[in-house]
Structure 1
């Protein structure tokens, strides 16, 4: 089969559409998927640069989500049959023609969504659901969510899910065009971070912050936060090391969490996927939430897709088809 290989750590030019060995037959509890499409995530760029290796046992190829058709099922698999249209949350390997995945990380393609569009769903939906809505500190109806990078794949999904569940949404983005898309999706407070300080616009109003920036936004996130609020850090685009005002954190009785999805145990991922199927898939099938796709490119042009993401030249997700 063919897959995108990383010839050496580096820029987009190190991605090659190569002949590689077929994946092993699916083992106990696993499913083999014939890939129809995959989607680009910033974690793929980090892996290409040599900063984010796949967890042990995962495919070495990039790609944290895919859609396609079940090609084979391993022993002990129930609920999936050869020929079914599916999408899946992966630990790696989406940039390939075939990939093996634990059955607990597989989802049906939602009604009303094309097989290609479905590739834009698993990673962003599972990330948003597990960080914004889970647990006692999760976002509730009537509360305010602040989403940094509102025009990203994560951002466009977070806006829609929060609106569908009755929350108020504020976003930051770097252009009027991206903010216009956020408004169409339901965001009510729009902040161009190149022109305004979101902490001043939202001082003390935010219940949950979904943060892709990390260190550079810690202090301002805290100033924007309401009493009892939560900052969920899921990215480090603004740096890894920063200072946090613990006095302000105590005064607001606030919480800062930092999580990643890729390296979680299969059981945790399966629990998140099951919750997403129950809570989010109906919203998608009702048309209240949809994948936002910027463009579709051949998988052989993965390097160009990475260049677009690096310069933030997209809104929503970029899809790759083999």
Structure 2
């Protein structure tokens, strides 16, 4: 990205400061639209490249650089979402959104890993919950963009329409359709304290190899999904059913005796990180309903874990 020089009095260029100040907002938007921090960073880089490719006079004529940057980033994301289906068809195994590298030890609130640069940190709220990101991934590109821009970032439909390329009325319908999907998939959110207790009990039962305890903690219709991207071993299809998932977990623990489980915040919710010889090999997110786990997402693809290992 091209940088501009300081002004003559030695202070930072105010235009540059204002533009760079939009970076965090753009990262937040692009991550929610794409489900990948790596792709979100690429989108933001491309957005800035397009800004600085504009003739100086044209840039000066833009009344709201932030709105311009958001529009461009949104359109880039929309294009990427349109091609994502083809890319997913070539993906080996199941695809899970890239987990955010928060690294906070939720049992104590202490940092447990290397944090992101503050300028790149994604705001942790319900809109980055893994369960919601998975629902978003099932939407059409236009639905996802309309929902995220309006329901999450509170953009008016007139502005959403400029990005999506449809009428405000059509965008309203898209957001409404997306909203119904979210409500159907996630009728009730489990309080964080209860979610944490269930995940901690799950961790203890798994470490003890206690199949009966695991079955008690798992919903009878639980689904466990793994994402290895064809680069590491992982189940190629979701595993369903409490006893099947429990036995698979115990089998995995038996194969990898030195696996260390750590309590870490994953996408704003209590999750687990598995380490082997000091290296993070799996990041796990959970969907908890009541006192039982109904979905487990295990990200093992090393490319998706890179943000967790940045020093």
Q: Same fold (TM over 0.5)?
A: no
Higher share of residues assigned strand: 1
TM-score (norm 1): 0.26
TM (normalized to structure 2)?
0.26
Q: Counting helix residues as a fraction of each chain, which structure ranks higher?
A: 2
**Which has the greater radius of gyration?**
2
